[in-house]
Structure 1
């Protein structure tokens, strides 16, 4: 039996590659919103299916809550992409992204940090 290392492997590589291109061109030091806008341009150029600032519903015991999550990107209708522009990926960023997965029943998220001299990213799998 062949098992995948993680779901949507090729799709994640495409997203990470696009983020690396953005970081290589812009470097670190901008606000998160700048990287979000630049990444949207590159995802579009690369024909990567995405929705920017996607509102996701949260369900609790079969009920849809009024409170919604807004993720930076939902790519390929399956991969949550959360962007940061901080000094490092912190445990609270991981917890936030993990909560997005739990609440939305998605299987994988990418947490991408543009705030350091080298792009940081973490795959979070539920």
Structure 2
């Protein structure tokens, strides 16, 4: 992946997120960064979710810098998909020199 090759591995998550926005923009891919979604409980807002990126209004992209993608990250993405009403998510892990990724479909 171009972003990982350009920045290297093991930084904090935010530089990867920002670099992805640049890279996707250069490829004319529509991307929204840090969109806000209300988390509702019985009709009352109890929080909000701010996904890293949403591309084409259809794909939630989350950047991670963790040892490996576990059930915790997968469960978190499932919740994000439920909150946003979207069906597909992508977790990108920039911890190591080889990009780890998982695609989640609801």
Per the TM superposition, whether the score is higher than 0.5 is yes
List 4+ stretches of structure 1 deviating above 2 A: 57-61, 63-66
The structure with the largest helix share of the pair is 1
- Flag structure 1 segments of 5+ consecutive residues without an equivalent: 1-19
Q: Does 1:27 pair with 2:28? A: no
How many residue pairs end up in the alignment? 106
TM-score of the pair, normalised by structure 2: 0.90
Q: Pick the aligned partner of 1:118 from 94, 98, 102.
A: 98
The aligned residue for residue 65 of structure 2 is 85
The structure with the largest strand share of the pair is 2
The aligned residue for residue 7 of structure 1 is none
Q: Does 1:37 pair with 2:18? A: yes
TM-score of the pair, normalised by structure 1: 0.77
DSSP-derived class of the 1:71 partner: coil
1:58 is displaced (CA, Å) by 3.1
RMSD: 1.5
